[in-house]
């Protein structure tokens, strides 16, 4: 059984922190405070440069990111590294894009920490589906057209997608697909084959919430070719459903007008200590 992190204890601790979808201003205050006091930070591929820039120069940084067909470190090795660093008395920051518990393997990591008796704390972050959709002007639910929302991963396995297709094509819902750019043609074709109209609106958002945000909208019938023409690259998020139509009048974010985050951030009085 692991203990909650005690900032006064000599023994090390692991803070599993959600870094949000990209814009550093979407970090929680708790995340920022822990980032400023960490001895060592293990960070993923999806943690934006703007967020990493908030780490103090004295914090040791270790990249453990996973990209398609390129894993810097196996998950088991990451788990062992967290344990080893904490046992040496470090305040270890495990920094993950989005939220640690949404397709972030956070549960696997703290399961190892708990088994090894390492104290840990989990700090939620704004997951990509929420942050990216908001900055794209696409509400994930709307009482006129979507009363439910599903989050799924779109990884290809052996060239195919192993998805619960009947669940994805139910009416009056929004489907958000993480990590599905490579398999976008198969995704669109599969949704159509299992019952969704080819005219169902859909969008792909690249690097959402950042100054590099780009959006391509279309239908299940046209989206794959439009995205190919636009040469979008990861990280991306796919949104499928009638709510995508609302973007025409709800689009508000202007990436080119985003001012760089000023440093240092002022922390409210009484919030400096952990």
Other C-beta atoms closer than 10 Å to the C-beta of 33 total 19
Determine the 3-state secondary structure of 171 from DSSP: coil
Q: Which of 49, 53, 66, 157 is catalytic?
A: 66
Establish whether the linkage from the previous residue to 264 is cis, with ω within 30° of 0. yes
Q: Which helix (H) or strand (E) holds 226?
A: helix 223-230
CATH class of 13-126: alpha beta
Q: Give which of 59, 130, 131 is closest to 94, Cα–Cα.
A: 59
Q: Give which of 132, 130, 133 is closest to 246, Cα–Cα.
A: 133
Per domain, the residue ranges of the chain are: 13-126, 129-250
Q: How far apart are CA 72 and CA 92, in angstroms?
A: 19
Q: Which helix (H) or strand (E) holds 218?
A: strand 214-219
88 catalytic, yes or no? no
pLDDT tens, N- to C-terminus, the chain (274 residues): 456 676 655 569 999 999 999 999 999 999 999 999 999 999 999 999 999 999 999 999 999 987 666 657 899 999 999 999 999 999 999 999 999 999 989 999 999 999 999 999 999 999 999 999 999 999 999 999 999 999 999 988 777 888 999 999 999 999 999 999 999 999 999 999 999 999 999 999 999 999 999 999 999 999 999 999 999 999 999 999 999 999 999 999 999 776 666 556 666 555 444 4
Other C-beta atoms closer than 10 Å to the C-beta of 217 total 21
Q: Structure tokens of 124?
A: 């939620």
Q: Which of 6, 23, 39, 44 is catalytic?
A: 44
> What is this structure's pTM?
0.90
Burial class of 114 by CB neighbour count within 10 A (0 to 12, 13 to 18, 19+): middle
44 catalytic, yes or no? yes
Q: Give which of 201, 230, 186 is closest to 137, Cα–Cα.
A: 201
Fold of 129-250: 3.30.950
Contact by Cβ (8 Å): 197, 220: yes
């Amino acid at each position: 059984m692991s203990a909650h992190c005690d900032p006064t204890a000599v023994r090390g601790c692991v803070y599993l922190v959600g870094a949000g979808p990209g814009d550093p201003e979407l970090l929680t205050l708790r995340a920022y405070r822990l980032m400023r006091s960490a001895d060592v930070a293990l960070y993923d591929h999806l943690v934006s440069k703007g967020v990493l820039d908030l780490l103090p120069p004295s914090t040791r940084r270790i990249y453990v990111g996973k990209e398609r067909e390129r894993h810097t470190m196996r998950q088991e090795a990451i788990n062992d590294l967290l344990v080893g660093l904490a046992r040496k008395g470090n305040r270890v920051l495990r920094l993950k894009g989005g939220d640690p518990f949404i397709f972030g393997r956070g549960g696997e990591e703290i399961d190892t920490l708990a088994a090894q008796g390492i104290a840990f704390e989990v700090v939620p972050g704004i997951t990509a589906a929420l942050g990216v959709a908001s900055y794209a002007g696409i509400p994930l639910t709307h009482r006129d057209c979507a009363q439910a929302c599903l989050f799924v991963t779109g990884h290809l396995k052996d060239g195919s997608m192993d998805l619960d297709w009947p669940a994805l094509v139910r009416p009056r819902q929004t489907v958000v697909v993480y990590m599905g750019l490579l398999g976008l043609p198969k995704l669109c074709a599969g949704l159509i084959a299992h019952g969704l109209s080819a005219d169902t609106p859909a969008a792909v958002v690249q690097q959402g919430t950042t100054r590099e945000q780009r959006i391509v909208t279309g239908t299940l019938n046209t989206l794959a070719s439009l995205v190919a023409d636009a040469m979008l690259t990861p990280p991306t998020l796919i949104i499928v459903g009638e709510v995508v139509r609302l973007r025409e009048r709800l689009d508000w974010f202007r990436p080119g007008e985003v001012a760089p985050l000023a440093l240092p951030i002022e922390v409210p009085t009484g919030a400096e200590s952990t």
